Amino acid sequence: MGTAIFMVLMVSGYWYTSRDLSSRFKIRRSSGWDVYFLVALYGCIFVLQGVFATGIIWIVLLGISAIANALQEIPGVHLKWQIEFMNWSFLGIQAPVVVMLAFAILFCLYRSNWSGSARLNAPGRKDLYQKLSRSNGVEQLLFQCMEEGELAWITLKSRRIYIGMIHAATFEYENTANIVLIPMLSGYRDSKTLKLAVEHNYSKWYAEHNITLESEPKNAMAFRKVLMVDQIESLSLFDPASASALAYGDPQAVTKSPQSEESPEEL
């Protein structure tokens, strides 16, 4: 009996954490024993809900038995359905335990697949991402860029720099955490002076070729860059007012069009 309770507890906890969006983000941010305790926590919640539901059934049977005995529905017989319920067994397991486990599984399935929280709409997902990003500075800044349309300044460990719009960010799996960026400018920092040399002016290319996020046959998404998070050295908002700091007037700076970096066929 104890093994059955433990198995239902762990399985229901794992099922919920692997399907509920909020819990999935939490468990991906956990490691070691924290993962097991988080799974066990949700499993305990469902098992306790099953205990309360079974207790309600016992109280209902007690009430029915008391009313039937008071009204003498069956003369000469004193009904004790609540006791019979407690003593009944199924496959060697007491009925209350079977009912409790069944309720725990039903509550888990409901919260994982059928409840309103399991089917978040766009505003609900946005509120969830905003809430979860508060504990992570990188995610908070990326969410701000996506929400307000701010440009991000991303410096890679290779001294490569991208300035552009954040289209999406994935942090669910640590090994594949990445940022999808629509570049406006790209360049590098000189190894000696550390000044930014602009190599590719994507924004100028977009304007000259009437490329927007919705243009056809090619839009700005064709130029998107997928940057692995573990390759990022720093991340900040880009203030257009500070664009004068870019090395446009530096004779060492090189300004190219995106076409010189990648051919349209490769994009």
How far apart, in whole angstroms, are the C-alpha atoms of residue 26 and residue 131? 12
Q: Name the domain boundary from 87, 118, 149.
A: 118
Predicted local distance difference test score (pLDDT) of residue 128: 61
Spans of the chain, pLDDT less than 50: 247-254, 262-267
The reply to whether 195 and 104 lie within a common domain is no
Residue 29: how many CB atoms within 10 A of its CB?
A: 16
Quick one: 96 and 158 in the same domain? no
* Domain carrying residue 138: 123-261
Q: Is residue 266, in this structure, part of any structural domain at all?
A: no
Which domain-ending residue is among 91, 118, 145?
Answer: 118
What pLDDT is stored for residue 263 in this prediction? 40
Residue of 33, 27, 5, 29 lying closest to 15 (CA atoms): 27
Instruction: Return the pLDDT at 123.
Output: 60
Q: Rounded to 5 degrees, what are φ and ψ at 16?
A: -70, -45
Q: What is the pLDDT of residue 170?
A: 75
- Same domain? For 42 and 140 the reply is no
End of a domain among 118, 133, 149?
118
Q: What is the pLDDT of residues 132-190, one digit of tens each?
A: 666 667 777 877 787 777 888 888 888 888 988 888 877 766 677 788 889 988 888 77
Answer yes or no: do 20 and 97 share one domain.
yes
With CA atoms as reference, report the closest residue to 225 among 179, 157, 177, 188: 179
Q: Percent of the chain, pLDDT > 70?
A: 70
Give the per-residue pLDDT at 82. Answer: 76
Count of structural domains, the chain: 2
CATH number at residue 229: 2.30.30.100
